[in-house]
Every structure is written in structure tokens, then in C-alpha cells.
């Protein structure tokens, strides 16, 4: 049995032993992402709302800042309610530690381009965007790293819609215009150490743009611009589009989100086979109803199934 199959078996065994698998865990998304907006872009000059100060070292666009409404995140099912927040926070601490270690070489061997982490799933509805947002928020709590959340799910840019930045210049605009600096499209938020790069204007050649030399250069520049920056990239499902397969070539780490008792094992294996060999791949189990499981499963390099 391969490492991938072993990890999946462990996750499924854990989920079965916890009772009713239909009951979502603390903090699991209970509603579709839909059109719910939990943020808004505010002009810093003349803003109608007083905002917490933004770290000037991360103020890439000084005239705009994204206000993140935590209550709206909870209402949309993208954050756990307050009484369950501690449990969710502990879960994401387990997820982020090995990823950060591999990204910056803290207590582990640093992976090439390990600061660039692609969030993936086999199919839609696995909780990939939920996981990306919560992982980014968790990493932003670190004292010595910052996090940039990139919306590269260009067919369905949920993150851009959720945070109200779908009309802002973003990733696809940067890829189309080689004279544009990606840093200029990054929007700071009113949450310390967290910034956003929206998806940008849609393009019929999105796959080609994500697979281009320009995309590799953009990720490299985003990583090289700040050695303490972790770049979380939300991608489309691996089995439904070709964009994520192209994107995987440009990152150092891939996190595959698996929905407990829903995602077929073969779908996960097929998805991983599309990532390509030699990548550091990890699995995160979403909506597991166990009370004290290990939600994070990491394992070496991806191999073709």
C-alpha cells in the first residue's frame, strides 16, 4: 500500500470511529460560499471607518486596505463560532507547523520554493477555500512570518468574492501585462501580517497564463520579495480543470484537502497523479467528526498513482 493510500486509510478509519460522519466538526463550513461577502476595500484617505494600523513593511498599496469582517466570516461558515474557535485554532496549528517548517527551514530542511503553498482538492465542495482562509489566518498569527493569500481559482474566484475584491486588479492582470509588478496588485488587510492578491479580470487563456514562464517568475518574485512571507495559493480542483495542474509546477508545496467520508479514495489518488513527481504533498482531512484526531497527514514526495 502506498503512502497516499495509507494516509487516506488512516483518515477514513478515524472518521468512522467517531460516530455520525454526517455531523461536521467544529468550524467546518456549513453553507456554500455563494455570494456572501465578508470584506470590503476601503480607501485609506477619507475612509468612513477607523482602521487598525497596518504594518508599513506590508503596505503594498497604501491607498487601499481590505477590512475583514470576522463576524461575517463566522456567519458564512468560513470561521467557527466563538465557542468552537479554540478547537479550530488548535487544529490549524497542527496543519501549519510542518508547512512553515518546510517553507523557511525552521526545524526541518527547507524545500525549494517551499514558501509557495498551493491549496488543492480533487473535486469541488471539499472545503479547499475554507481551509485556505483558515490556514492563512492561522499563519498570520505567527510573530516572525507574514502570509499572502492568492486567489488563483480563476474559474470560480471565491476568495476574491468573499473579501469583496473581485473588481480589483489581480493575478491574471499581472500575468497578462509583463510590465506590471505583482507587488503593486497586493492589497493589505486590517489584520496584521495578512495580505491578499485577487484573481483579477477573467481570461479565456487563464490556463496558458498560469502555465507560463511569467507565472513562475511571479511566484518567485512574490517569494523572493520577503524571505519571511508565506504565499498561500487557492487553486481550482485538480480533476475538474487544467489550471491547477499547470500551477502545481510553480510551487514548492501542495496541500490536498480531502473531505471525510465523501471524497473517493481513487479521486484523491488521481488528483495527486496530476501534480507531478517530486513535489512535497500533504493531505488535510476536512469535516472529520473525531474529537481528537490528527487532521494533518504529511508525506514525502508525490509519485504517480
User: What's 179's domain CATH number?
Assistant: 3.40.50.300
Range of the domain at 146: 3-301
Domains in the chain, number: 1
Residue 291: the pLDDT is 42
Per the prediction, the chain carries an average pLDDT of: 79
Which pTM does this prediction carry? 0.79
| Residue range 183-239, pLDDT digits in tens | 999 999 999 999 999 999 988 898 899 989 999 999 999 999 999 999 999 999 999
User: What kind and span of H or E run contains 91?
Assistant: helix 85-104
From CA 18, how far away is CA 143, in angstroms rounded? 35
Alpha helices in 141-251 (DSSP H): 158-162, 171-176, 206-210, 213-224, 243-248
Give residues with Cβ within 8 angstroms of 198, minimum separation 6: 151, 157, 159, 160, 165, 166, 168, 169, 170, 171, 185, 187
| Residue range 133-177, pLDDT digits in tens | 999 999 999 999 999 999 999 989 999 999 999 999 999 999 999
Q: Which residue has the cell 482531512?
A: 285
Amino acid at each position: 500500500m502506498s503512502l497516499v493510500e495509507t494516509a487516506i486509510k488512516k483518515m477514513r478509519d478515524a472518521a468512522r470511529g467517531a460516530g455520525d460522519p454526517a455531523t461536521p466538526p467544529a468550524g467546518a463550513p456549513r453553507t456554500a460560499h455563494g455570494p456572501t461577502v465578508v470584506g470590503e476595500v476601503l480607501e485609506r484617505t477619507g475612509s468612513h471607518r477607523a482602521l487598525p494600523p497596518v504594518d508599513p513593511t506590508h503596505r503594498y498599496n497604501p491607498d487601499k486596505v481590505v477590512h475583514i469582517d470576522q463576524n461575517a466570516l463566522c456567519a458564512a461558515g468560513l470561521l467557527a463560532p466563538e465557542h468552537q474557535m479554540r478547537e479550530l485554532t488548535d487544529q490549524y496549528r497542527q496543519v501549519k507547523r510542518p508547512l512553515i517548517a518546510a517553507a523557511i527551514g525552521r526545524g526541518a530542511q527547507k524545500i525549494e520554493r517551499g514558501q509557495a503553498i498551493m491549496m488543492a482538492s480533487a473535486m469541488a465542495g471539499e472545503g479547499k477555500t475554507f481551509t485556505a482562509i483558515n490556514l492563512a489566518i492561522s499563519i498570520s498569527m505567527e510573530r516572525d512570518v507574514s502570509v499572502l493569500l492568492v486567489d488563483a481559482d480563476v474559474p470560480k474566484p471565491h476568495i476574491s468574492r468573499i473579501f469583496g475584491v473581485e473588481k480589483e486588479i489581480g493575478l491574471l492582470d499581472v500575468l497578462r501585462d509583463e510590465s506590471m509588478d505583482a507587488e503593486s496588485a497586493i492589497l493589505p488587510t486590517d489584520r496584521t501580517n495578512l495580505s491578499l492578491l485577487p484573481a483579477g479580470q477573467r481570461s479565456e487563456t487563464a490556463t496558458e497564463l498560469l502555465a507560463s514562464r511569467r507565472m513562475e517568475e511571479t511566484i518567485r518574485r512574490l517569494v523572493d520579495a520577503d524571505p519571511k512571507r508565506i504565499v498561500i495559493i487557492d487553486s481550482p480542483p485538480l480533476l475538474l480543470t487544467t489550471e491547477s495542474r499547470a500551477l502545481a509546477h510553480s510551487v514548492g508545496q501542495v496541500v490536498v484537502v480531502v473531505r471525510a467520508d465523501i471524497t473517493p479514495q481513487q479521486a484523491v489518488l488521481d488528483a495527486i497523479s496530476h501534480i507531478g513527481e517530486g513535489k512535497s504533498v500533504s493531505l488535510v482531512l476536512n469535516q472529520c467528526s473525531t474529537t481528537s484526531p490528527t487532521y494533518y497527514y504529511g508525506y514525502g514526495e508525490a509519485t504517480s498513482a
